[in-house]
Each structure stands twice: as C-alpha cells, then as structure tokens.
C-alpha cells in the first residue's frame, strides 16, 4: 500500500466513519432511554445499522468531497430524536445524554487502537490483511478523535453546547440556546477559513498521538499512513 487511489481510501475510511457516527447517535438514544425517554427506541433508531442513521449530505456527500480533496474529514449523521421533556431530571440528564456521544467515540478510538496493536502482533510485513487493518485502525482513531473533540465544542447544537447549556444558570442557558440555528453555519465558516483545525487541532494531535503510542505503531509509521490516507 505505497499509494492509495480514491477507491482504496474510501475502502479504508468507510467502516470507521459509518460506525463512528452510528455508535455516537445510538449512544445518545440509549442513555436517553435509561433516563426516561424512549423516543429513539420507538422510532427504531437504537440500532447499529448505519442505514438508519445516514444523512445523505452530512454522511456521504461532504465527507466524500473532503476526502477527494485531501482535506479535513468532517461530517454528521441524522440526529437521534430525543424528547427532552421525558427525561427524569431534564437539566442533569441533558448533559448526560449529550456527553454519551463523544464518550462513545473515545471508546471506539481505543477499540481501533487495540485493532492496530493486535494486527501488529499477529501480522507480518508481507501480510496484506494485517496492513489493511492497521490502515483502518489509524482511520478509526483519527475520525473518532476528531468527532469526539469537535462535538465537545461549546456551540449549540453540538454536544458540548448542550452540556454547557445544562451547566449554566437558566437565563444564560436560554441565551446560549438561541445560537442553535447558527451552529452549523458557524462550523462551516470555521472549516472554510481554516480556524476549525487550529481550534481543535492541538487536542486532536495529543489524543491521537497518545493512542498511537499505546498501539505499538511507530510515529513514522503513523505519519506515513495518515498522509497516505489524506
């Protein structure tokens, strides 16, 4: 795998990306169910079937275009529907439901780190299946770390915005919630100007470097794979 064409890049990225956004949304719905809201369950959204969560623009079009351009991978799934009023303790439970998504991405990033470690232990330099799994593992660590940190930005309707709103006093929380219609345009503007990478880049680099260190993959090996995938 000295160089990858677009189809090969898609083959590497598609599983980590689909499961990153799918498990993220299911985590929101599952925690909401434990806290009193069964909306996601009743609408059939507590499933790991990616088809139920795909947003044609956010899941397919935008990540595909960014991947083809060799840019910052960015996307989203259809939000799991939650009726916040059904939660047993709405102010506390909004924060718990919101943080469940990014936490699931951290768990998945650790899972992909273990995939790399196991592949390196069992495979050889001539084992193409092992090499392919290492590539997928790198993609999995990167996409889940990006989604985790991106979603914790304190901008509604991102998870971090909802967590902050749950922690703020009522009037301040209401003022913050008024930003929700402008959240996506703000993110797109930050992405287009390069500011998004500068804001989350240092933390993404720290988390990815830490996980790669535990995976057993050398830093040079990671750098080579990462730039091959972009």
Q: Which residues are catalytic?
A: 25
Contacts of 95 (CB under 8 A, 6+ apart): 162, 163, 166, 167
For residues 105 and 74, the answer to whether their CB atoms sit within 8 Å is: no
Residue 70: Cβ-neighbour burial (10 angstroms; 0-12, 13-18, 19+): exposed
Kindly provide the residue ranges of all beta strands, DSSP E only, lying in 41-194, ordered along the sequence.
Answer: none
Contacts of 137 (CB under 8 A, 6+ apart): 112, 113, 115, 116, 119, 215
For residues 78 and 85, the answer to whether their CB atoms sit within 8 Å is: no
Q: Distance between CA 172 and CA 168 in Å, rounded?
A: 6
Neighbours of 218 (CB within 10 A): 12
Q: Distance between CA 191 and CA 71 in Å, rounded?
A: 10
The DSSP string of 150-188 is: HHTSS-TTSHHHHHHHHHS-HHHHHHHHTTGGGHHHHHH
CA within 13 Å, CB half, 88:
7
């Amino acid at each position: 795998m000295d160089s990858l064409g677009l189809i090969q890049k898609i083959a590497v990225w598609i599983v980590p990306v689909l499961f990153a956004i799918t498990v993220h949304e299911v985590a929101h719905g599952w925690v909401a169910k434990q806290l009193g809201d069964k909306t996601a369950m009743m609408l059939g959204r507590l499933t790991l079937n990616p088809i139920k969560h795909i947003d044609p623009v956010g899941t397919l079009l935008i990540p595909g275009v960014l991947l083809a351009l060799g840019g910052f991978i960015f996307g989203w799934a259809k939000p799991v529907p939650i009726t916040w009023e059904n939660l047993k303790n709405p102010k506390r439970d909004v924060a718990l439901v919101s943080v469940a998504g990014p936490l699931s991405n951290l768990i998945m990033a650790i899972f992909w780190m273990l995939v790399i470690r196991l592949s390196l232990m069992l495979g050889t330099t001539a084992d193409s299946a092992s090499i392919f799994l290492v590539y997928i593992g790198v993609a999995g660590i990167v996409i889940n770390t990006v989604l985790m940190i991106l979603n914790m930005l304190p901008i509604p309707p991102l998870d971090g915005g909802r967590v902050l709103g749950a922690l703020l006093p009522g009037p301040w929380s209401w003022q913050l919630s008024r930003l929700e219609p402008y959240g996506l345009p703000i993110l797109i503007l930050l992405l287009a100007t390069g500011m998004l990478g500068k804001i989350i880049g240092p933390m993404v680099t720290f988390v990815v470097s830490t996980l790669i260190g535990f995976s057993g993959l050398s830093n040079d090996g990671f750098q080579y794979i990462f730039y091959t995938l972009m």
